[in-house]
Structure 1
Amino acid sequence: MEQKSKVSILVVPFPAQGHLNQLLHFSLLLSSRGFPVHYATSPTHVLQAKCRLQGWNPSSLHAIHFHSLPIPPFPTPPPDYNSTIKFPSHLQPAFEAFLHIRAPLSSLLQTLSSASTRLVIVHDSLSSFAGKEAESLPNTESYNFRCLSALFGLTFPQISESTAKLLRAHDLVLPAKDGRVTEEFSDFMIRNYYDNNERESGMIMNTCKKLEGEFLELRRQELDYIGKKLFAIGPINPVVIRGGGHRHECLDWLDKQPDGSVLYISFGSTTTPSEDQVEQLAIGIVQSRQRFIWVLRSADRGNIFAEEGKEAGYKLPPGFDKEVEGRGMVIRDWAPQLDILAHTSTGLFMSHCGWNSCMESLSMGVPFAAWPMHSD
């Protein structure tokens, strides 16, 4: 008879890069401490998470048990470059299709539960159905993993008076919520984000007391979490970069630049700047004479591996390449952000301020110039 694992951990991320990435880092941290860890999402998004791993030796993935749970086919339209709402609404079909993993996830939970003395489910806030599915199993406990800041959780769907008072005390003003997300995604969040269950043991957050201590204390006082556990364990990303695997050519270029001299520009995996914004930024780069690395790509599609209908990409102003020759690089595909931020030549990060980028930049000691795009 096969011996049961004392404690097994099942991680269920939401299928967007910032969520897949954080929960993969979390899974690797747990597995490095000897826990059997299972990572379950759709086949496309399992592959996406694995192929975009940063900061770890690729061989570390062998310690994770990946489960590709079937979902129905879904459309993968390209993003709209010039949409007035910058939220990636083209990903909505992938988000809706993802909900169909609930049935195969239930079967996986039963299998893992029977093979473990204790099964811990860590689900993304937008994968809260995983906690619901685990309720009927006697040897499980579930935790809600928040991929956003503690402050964000205190302002959605509406801000409390205690939070507003704390913001005023620090002279902080939140941007308007209009246009932050689409109505369709807002409805999706309400249907899934707030599907709390009474047996949930607590919350895990990619933040820390030094960064958001007062906001974390407000979260502890929320009715849903009184008497429950709250773990602030950020940054989740590695703060010491482990080598191994292919080395991107941009790192060889960075090796030749003076310390702190390079501006790194990237607006993340869900942002598509307008053609006019790209043109104006290009003009600014030329006129500034600044060393730079610019990741110039549109937002991810629902299936990043889909070939049909791939866009041609942004056009830069005539003569741009000649003007910046020798003092900058334009990367048109995925870039090794953690490696770039960890490099001594990187001095400033122009960012959309997604929570992954904020935590990675802060943990590497790189200041950033903030250009929020939608829900950042």
Structure 2
Amino acid sequence: MVAHKNSVVVVMVAFPLQGHINQLLHLSHHVSAHNVPVHFVCTTVQARQAKLRLQGWNPSTISTIFFHDLPVPSFASPPPNCNATHKFPSHLQPLCEAATHLRRPVSSLLRKLSPTTHRLVVIHDSLMGSVCQDFVSLPNAESYTFHSVSAFSIALYTSEKVGEQTRNLVQPRDLSKDELSFEGCFTSEFKKFISSQHEYAKLSSGRIYNTCRVVEQPILDLLETEARKTNKKLWALGPFNPVNIQSESKFSGKDGGPVEQCLKWLDKQASNSVIFVSFGTTTSFSKQQIIEIAIGLEKSEQKFMWVVREADRGDLEKVNIIHDDLPIGFENRVKDRGLVIREWAPQLDILAHPSIGGFMSHCGWNSCIESLSMGVPIAAWPMHSDQPNNAVLVTKVLKVGLFVKDWGRREQVVVAETVEKSVRRLMGSKEGEEIRKRAVVMGRQVRKSVKDGGITQMELESFVAHISRK
């Protein structure tokens, strides 16, 4: 006999890659702030790493978030192939497959929690559908599918009709034949994995996006029309990431360490004078490509902060190899205007810093929504997955960025001259200034949306009220 029942308990089930876990951690914070108990489920090693990297709040101070770090069977953990022409991180496929073994412990957790609450709500990454499927056996449970990518990307996949309507948001003359084709975005093995997991979305009561109606309203309208056909709901609750951290860093790095040093370096730079160069946690570059980037940044004569690190491995307990492939004497030559970081960097704090005037990015959705919320324009260099679609959204729909290279040339090394021209265009041209102005306006609108009375804040309150209904 349960003495007291919660009106609602939420279980978040994350896909064990940094860009996915990070978003659900932030969403957990927002939901728990409404006095809703949240149980956060992920693989042990990946959850531990993501919590260490978390910015903007300290999960240990949130008493209504209960972490369940679950082990998975051992799996192969090959190093990333930095010389591969296809940049999809296939070295992470074994981890993805291993995560599907969480079905039994997740099912056990759901059965344990079900009697303690009037309503049990499962919010799961779209790539963890099979893990959560047993909620259907519980009379008081319902699920919501979380998409870790832009609404734009999902709309292109939804159906031929919705895809065509979405493409129409981009002027045809602005698109090359290779863009929005999905060619080269995934390996065939991962395509099968996506299909097998998305099959379970039909069991859910709706979909949640880490996006803002300020950013993607026309696309969300298309998706809502489709959702209503199957009596499902759609919620745009983003940006999940904190947006008001300009005053000081909230990242829990070691005092005096590389993290603090890079922020102190930014403090010495003029407003909008630095381009941040970072390509996420799943991509590694060849020695040749690193050299070309270095030469391009040096010749651009612009200030920069560049993260040079190997991609995350499946088994994060294995130490990443730091390749010192930079040209001889490079760091010494650029020491007055450039900083190289050889480990994971506090991206949110960096993008929020007033000295940052641009972001050369792979266009992962975390990076896009963080950059948009901070009003920072993007030099788009997509690598794989949803990134090419996000790059089109940023550059040709929202017009707050520019392309470094066309997706049709994705297997080619980007030469130093291209890097140099892209940096100069974004940071030192009239075109770049106009792009920055649009990005600043959008950032202001996005930050307003999460304040009391803002469109995102009201939608979040509506969502909490919906899942708390009697």
Q: TM-score if structure 2 supplies the norm length? A: 0.76
Farther off after superposition, 189-198 or 313-322: 189-198
State the shift of 1:61 in Å.
4.9
State the shift of 1:330 in Å.
0.7
Aligned counterpart, 2:311? 299
8 Å contact from structure 2 (residues 273, 357) kept in 1: yes
Q: Distance in 2 between matches of 1:260 and 1:347?
A: 4
Q: Distance in 1 between matches of 2:251 and 2:217?
A: 35
State the shift of 1:287 in Å.
1.3
1:133 maps to amino acid? D
8 Å contact from structure 1 (residues 13, 123) kept in 2: yes
The one of 217, 222, 235 equivalent to 1:213 is: 217
2:293 maps to amino acid? L
State the shift of 1:165 in Å.
3.8
Tell me, what secondary structure is at the counterpart of 2:348? helix
Tell me, what secondary structure is at the counterpart of 2:234? strand
2:131 is aligned with 1:124: no
2:210 is aligned with 1:203: no
2:190 is aligned with 1:185: yes
Give the 3 Å change call, closer, same or farther, for CA 99–289 of structure 1 in structure 2: same
Q: Distance in 2 between matches of 1:188 and 1:58?
A: 31
Aligned counterpart, 1:103? 104
8 Å contact from structure 2 (residues 156, 162) kept in 1: no
Aligned counterpart, 1:11? 12
Give ranges in structure 2 of 5+ residues lacking alignment: 388-470
Give ranges in structure 1 of 5+ residues lacking alignment: none
The one of 346, 357, 363 equivalent to 2:367 is: 357
Aligned counterpart, 2:24? 23
State the shift of 1:184 in Å.
0.6
Residue-by-residue CA offset, 1:285-341 (whole Å, 9 max, x unaligned): 11122111101112111122224xx43424101110111112111111110000000
Q: Distance in 2 between matches of 1:203 and 1:196?
A: 8
Large movers: runs of 4+ above 4 Å? none
2:313 maps to amino acid? R
Q: TM-score if structure 1 supplies the norm length? A: 0.94
Residue-by-residue CA offset, 1:17-47 (whole Å, 9 max, x unaligned): 1100000000011112211110001111221
2:248 is aligned with 1:245: no
Aligned counterpart, 1:269? 281
CA root-mean-square deviation? 1.8
Farther off after superposition, 218-227 or 294-303: 218-227
8 Å contact from structure 1 (residues 201, 229) kept in 2: yes
The one of 330, 334, 343 equivalent to 1:333 is: 343
1:269 maps to amino acid? T
Give the 3 Å change call, closer, same or farther, for CA 179–162 of structure 1 in structure 2: closer
Tell me, what secondary structure is at the counterpart of 2:201? coil
Q: Distance in 2 between matches of 1:260 and 1:321?
A: 22
Listed as ranges, the matches of 1:41-120 within 5 Å are: 41-57=42-58, 59-120=60-121
Residue-by-residue CA offset, 1:253-295 (whole Å, 9 max, x unaligned): 1111111111100001111122222111100111122111101
Residue-by-residue CA offset, 1:151-176 (whole Å, 9 max, x unaligned): 211223x7523432442353153343
2:321 is aligned with 1:311: yes
Relative contact order higher in (CA < 8 Å, ≥ 6 apart): 1
8 Å contact from structure 2 (residues 227, 233) kept in 1: no
Give the 3 Å change call, closer, same or farther, for CA 219–294 of structure 1 in structure 2: same
- More helix by percentage: 2
Q: Distance in 1 between matches of 2:219 and 2:240?
A: 19
State the shift of 1:239 in Å.
0.5
Give the 3 Å change call, closer, same or farther, for CA 99–166 of structure 1 in structure 2: closer
Give the 3 Å change call, closer, same or farther, for CA 142–194 of structure 1 in structure 2: same
1:304 maps to amino acid? L
Residue-by-residue CA offset, 1:78-123 (whole Å, 9 max, x unaligned): 1001101100000001001000010011100001112222111000
Aligned counterpart, 2:167? 167
Give the 3 Å change call, closer, same or farther, for CA 114–162 of structure 1 in structure 2: closer
Give the 3 Å change call, closer, same or farther, for CA 40–60 of structure 1 in structure 2: same
8 Å contact from structure 1 (residues 43, 70) kept in 2: yes
8 Å contact from structure 1 (residues 278, 316) kept in 2: yes
Aligned counterpart, 1:176? 181
8 Å contact from structure 1 (residues 131, 197) kept in 2: no
8 Å contact from structure 1 (residues 9, 38) kept in 2: yes
Tell me, what secondary structure is at the counterpart of 2:22? helix
Q: Distance in 2 between matches of 1:268 and 1:364?
A: 17
Q: Distance in 2 between matches of 1:38 and 1:304?
A: 23
8 Å contact from structure 1 (residues 81, 272) kept in 2: yes
State the shift of 1:54 in Å.
1.0
Farther off after superposition, 345-354 or 219-228: 219-228
1:142 maps to amino acid? S
Give the 3 Å change call, closer, same or farther, for CA 319–225 of structure 1 in structure 2: farther
State the shift of 1:130 in Å.
4.3
Q: Distance in 2 between matches of 1:295 and 1:244?
A: 17
Farther off after superposition, 146-155 or 221-230: 221-230
8 Å contact from structure 2 (residues 152, 166) kept in 1: no
